[in-house]
Structure 1
Amino acid sequence: MKINFISNYINHHQIPFCDCLYRKLGEDFTFIQTEPMEEERVKMGWAVDARSIPYVHLLYEEPEVCRGLIEDCDLLLAGWMEQEELIAGRLGSGKPAIRISERIYREGQWKAVSPRGLAHKYREHIRYRNKPVYLLCAGAYVASDFSLIHAYPGKRFRFGYFPETRHYDGKGPEERKAEDGPVQIVWAGRMMPLKHPEFVVRLAEDLREKGLDYRIHFIGSGELEAQLKGEIEQKGLSDRVILYGFLEPGEVRKKMEESHIHLFTSNHLEGWGAVVNEAMNSGCAVVANSEPGAVPYLIENRVNGMIYREGSYEQFREAVVYLMEHEEERRQMGRRAYDTICSLWNAENAAAQCLRFYENWQKGRVEPPAEGPFSIAPVIWPGRRSV
C-alpha cells in the first residue's frame, strides 16, 4: 500500500500523524510539501527542517519526482495547496483519494450562492461527487459547508489535527499540577482579534473582584500584545497575569501540564484549534467557545470540558468561576480530557483508521468507526448547536 499526503507544508500538528503512517508503511508513505512555510509561522516557533524528515519531498525542488508520487500512490491524501491542478488528474482517475479540508465558508455560508465561487467549487470538489474521492472534515462545521454545495454526499468523515500525544505514568498529567495555592490558568495563541485575548484581561479583573486566587499564564504575541500589556499594567494585574511572548511548542506544553484550566477563546474564524488537543492531553479542564472546529468534536460539555455559547463573555466567565470553585469536578474533567486524547483523538488512531479505510475500500466497502477520526461527520450548522 502506497500513501501520499500532499499539502502546502508540513508542521508540528501534522508530523505525529505522518510519523505513524511512516512507521507502518516505511518508504511507501511520502509527504509532498508544495511551498516553504511563511515567515510568520516560523517566528512563532513552527519551523520544521523538512529536508531532515525522510518521507518529505519538496515540490519546488523535485517537481517530477513529486508528480510521479501523486500518480503512482494507491491512496492520495490531499490537504490545502495553491496548485490544485497538481492533483486534478489523480482525483478524476478512479483511484481512491481523500481531501482534507477546514471550512470553506467560515466567513459566512451566504457565500455559497456566489456563481463565481460555485464555479470554483465545482472544479475543486463537486465534479468528483461520483468518483472515489472522500472528505475528511478538519472541524465540526466543515460538513455543513460542503453539504450546501452537495459535495461528497455520504463521503464526509470526522478528522482534525493531531499534535504530539503524551502518555504519563501514575495519575497522568495531574501529578504535575500543584494541589495547593493559586489555580493555574493558561491561554496560548496569537494575540489577534479572532482569538479574543482581551477576554483574558477582563476575566483577570473579574476574578480578582471575586476574591479568587489564581495566576494566568498568557502565552503568545501579535498585533494586540502591546495594548493588552498596557491594560494589564494599568489595571494592576501584573502580579496575577504573566506575559511570556511566543514560546517554543515544548515550553507551551510544559505550562499546560502545570495548569489546571485552559482558556480557548477563538471565534468562528478558527478552523480547528490544536491547542485544545494539547491542553486536554495535558489534563487541563478546557473552557472553550463553541465556534472553533475542534470544540464539538473533542469536548462534551461538563464531561471533559466546559463549552460556552458563541462568544458569550458572561458564559465564559461563569464557566471559569465554576471550575475554580469546584475543584473535584475540575479534576475529573481534566482526567476525562486526557483520556479522550489518549484513547481516541490521537495520531496513532487516526493513522490506523486511515489504513483501515483503504483496506475496506479495496474490499468494496467503507465501514466508518462509531466515533473519532474517520467516523461519519454529522452536519452541524454554525450557531445552531445546543451546548
Structure 2
Amino acid sequence: MKLTFLSNYINHHQIPFCNACYDRLKEDFCFVQAQPMEQERLAMGWHNEADSLPFVKCLYEEEAECRERILSCDVLLAGWSDREDLVQERLGGGKPVIRISERLYREGQWKVVSPRGLIHKYKEHTRYRKGKAYLLCAGAYVPSDFHLIGAYPDKMFRWGYFPETVHYTEEEWEQLKPADGILRIVWAGRFIPLKHAEMMPRLAAFLREHLEEIRKEGIYTDFEIHMAGSGEMEESLKRETEELGVADRMIFHGFLPPEEIRHIMERCQIHVFTSNRLEGWGAVVNEAMNSGCAEVASAAAGAVPYLIRQGVNGIAYPEDDFMQMAQAVLSLACNDGKRKEMGRKAMETITGAWNAEHAAGELLRFSEELLTGDPEGADDGPLSPAPVISERRMYSWMCQ
C-alpha cells in the first residue's frame, strides 16, 4: 500500500507518527511538505528537519514528483496545506482521502450561518459525504463543527498529535520525580492571550495562601512553578508576578527545545494547561502525561476530552474557571498518593494508546480495509468513532 501525507510542514509533533509509518511502508510512505516552516516556530526552538528525513518531499521544490505522489497513492492523508487544489483533484477522481482537521469554528459555531462559508465548506467537504472521504478529528470539538455542515456522516474518528513517547522502566518511573519535599508545577507554551498564562501567577499566590494546609495534609513543604516559554505577554506576566509577591516561586525558562521541556516535565509533579477554545489540540498535554505529571487542564482545548478521564488520569475544569483549576491543584498538592496514581494513569494513557506507534498501526489497518471495503473504527483511542458532543455539553459529558 502506498500512503502519502500532505501537510504544511513536518514538525516534532508529527515526526514520531511519520517514522512509524515509514518503518512499516518504507518507500511507499511519503510526507509532502507544502511550505517552509515559519521563522516564529524556529525561534521557539523547533527544528527544521525536512532535509534530514528520508520520507519528506518538499512540494515547493519538487512539484512534479510530489504531485505524482499525491494523485497516484492508494490513500492520501490530508492535513492542512495551501494546496487544496491537489486534494480536490484527487477527490474528484473518486480516490480515497483521509483528512486530518482541527476545528472549523474555534471562535464560535455561530459562524456556520455565513452563506459564503457554507459554500466554501460544501465544495471542500460536504459534497463528498457519500464518497471515499473520511475525517480524523484532531480535537474533541471537531465532530460537532463538521456535523453542523453535514459532512462525513458516520465517518469521523478520534485523532490528535503524537509527540515522541518515552517508555519508562519501573525503576525509572520510581525515580522520575524528586523526593525533596518541593511540589513542582509546570506550564509550557507561548505567552499569548489564548493560552492564559496569566493564571499562573494567580495560582502561585493562591498556593502560598494555602501553604500551611499543604504542609499539614501532604508531604510538600513548599512549591515552585516552572514557566517554559515566552511571547508577547512575558513582561506583563513578570510584572504581575512581582506585584503578587510570588517572584521567588515562579521560574521563567524562556523558549526551550522540546527535549529540554520534557526534562522539566519529568521533574514536575503537576502540569497545568490553561488554554481556551482557540487551542485546537495542545500537544504539551500528551508530553506532560507521558512524563507522569498529574494533569489539570481546561476542558475547552481539543486534546483534553480525548485524553483525560475525569478524576482518573487527570482533572479537567471549565474554560476560564480559575478557582476550580486552583482547587484541583490544591487537592493534588494535599494528597500525594492521589497525585502519584493520577500521574501513573496519565503516563499509561500515552504509552498504551495515544502514541505514534499505536496510531500508525490503526491508521494502516484502517487504510487497508478502506481499499477493500468499509473500514472499521478502533475500540478506543486513535481511530475510534468520534462522538458528536456540543460545546456547551462537553464538560458535563466528561464528568459523567
Normalising by structure 2, we get a TM-score of 0.95
Does residue 193 of the first structure (1) align with residue 193 of the second (2)? Answer: yes
Aligned counterpart, 2:218 = none
Q: For residues 48-87 of structure 1, what are the structure 2 equivalents within 5 Å?
A: 48-87=48-87
Aligned counterpart for 1:298 among listed residues 304, 307, 310? 307
Q: Contact 2:71–2:86 (CA<8 Å) still a contact in 1?
A: no
Asked whether the equivalents of residues 102 and 139 of structure 2 are also in contact (C-alpha less than 8 Å), the reply is yes
SS of residue in 1 equivalent to 2:392? coil
Distance (Å, rounded) in 2 between the aligned partners of 1:171 and 1:367: 38
What is the distance in 2 between the residues matched to 1:257 and 1:28?
A: 36
CA contact 1:174–1:283 (8 Å) conserved in 2: no
Counterpart contact for 1:280–1:341, Cα < 8 Å: yes
Alignment of 1:12 with 2:3, yes or no, is: no
Equivalent in the alignment of 2:224: 215
Note the aligned Cα RMSD (angstroms).
Answer: 1.0
Deviations 1:246-285 (A, max 9, x none): 1110100000000000000000000000000000000000
Q: In 2, Cα distance between the equivalents of 1:48 and 1:173?
A: 32
Alignment of 1:142-157 (within 5 A): 142-157=142-157
Correspondence list, 1:230-379, <5 A: 230-379=239-388
**CA, structure 1 residues 83+165, in 2 after alignment: closer, same or farther (shift >3 Å)?**
same
TM-superposed CA distance for 1:25, in Å, is 0.4
Matched to 1:31, the amino acid is F
Task: Give how far 1:235 is off.
Answer: 2.7
**Structure 1 residue 322: deviation in Å?**
0.3
* Higher deviation after alignment, 294-303 or 81-90: 81-90
Tell me by how many angstroms 1:179 deviates: 2.1
Q: Which runs of 5+ in 2 are unaligned?
A: 215-221
Q: How much does 1:335 deviate?
A: 0.3
The question of whether the paired residues in 2 share the 8 Å contact of 1:261 and 1:286 is answered with yes
> Aligned partners of 1:383 and 1:365: how far apart in 2?
33
Residues in 1 aligned to 2:46 and 2:128: alpha-carbon distance in whole angstroms:
34
Partner of 1:319, secondary structure, is helix
Structure 1 stretches (4+) deviating beyond 6 angstroms? none
How far apart, CA to CA, are the structure 2 residues paired with 1:182 and 1:214?
5
Shift of 1:239: 1.6
SS at match of 2:383: coil
Q: Write the letter of the residue equivalent to 1:93.
A: G
For residues 362 and 84 of structure 1, the distance between their equivalents in structure 2, rounded to whole angstroms, comes to 23
The SS at the match of 2:175 is helix
Cα contact 2:184–2:224 (8 A) shared by 1: yes
Look up the match of 2:22: 22
Structure 1 position 171, deviation (Å): 4.5
Separation in 1 of the partners of 2:109 and 2:381?
A: 26
The aligned counterpart of 2:393 is: 384
Amino acid at match of 1:73: C
Distance in 2 of aligned mates of 1:268 and 1:130? 30
Match of residue 117 from structure 1:
117
Pair 1:328–1:152, CA change in 2 (3 A):
same
Write the letter of the residue equivalent to 2:2.
K
Q: Deviations over 1:326-359 (max 9, x none)?
A: 1100000000000000010000011000111012
Q: CA deviation at 1:174?
A: 4.3
SS in 2 for 1:157: strand
Amino acid corresponding to residue 197 of structure 2 in structure 1? P
**How far did 1:68 drift?**
0.4
Rounded to whole Å, the distance in 2 between the matches of 1:383 and 1:166 is: 35
Aligned residue-pair number: 387
Amino acid at match of 1:359: E
For residues 13-71 of structure 1, the C-alpha deviation after alignment (integer angstroms, 9 at most, x for no partner) is: 00000000000000000000000111111111112220111100001100011100011
Measure, in 2, the Cα distance between the counterparts of 1:365 and 1:99. Answer: 17
Please tell me whether the aligned partners of residues 188 and 227 of structure 2 are also in contact (alpha carbons under 8 angstroms). yes
Counting aligned pairs with the same residue, the percent is 58
Scaled by the length of structure 1, the TM-score of the pair is 0.98
* Structure 1: stretches of 5+ with no match in the other structure: none
Q: Distance in 1 between matches of 2:381 and 2:270?
A: 24
CA contact (8 A) 1:173 1:282 kept: no
Aligned amino acid, residue 140 of structure 1: A
Report deviation, 1:234. 2.9
Matched residue SS, 1:10:
coil
User: Any conservation in 2 of the 1:135–1:155 contact (CA below 8 Å)?
Assistant: yes
Post-superposition shift, 1:245? 0.7
SS state of the match for residue 167, structure 1?
Answer: coil
Contact 1:92–1:131 under 8 Å retained in 2: no
Q: Which residue of 2 aligns with 1:229?
A: 238
Secondary structure of 2:190's match?
coil
Provide the rounded CA distance (Å) in 2 between the counterparts of 1:174 and 1:36.
42
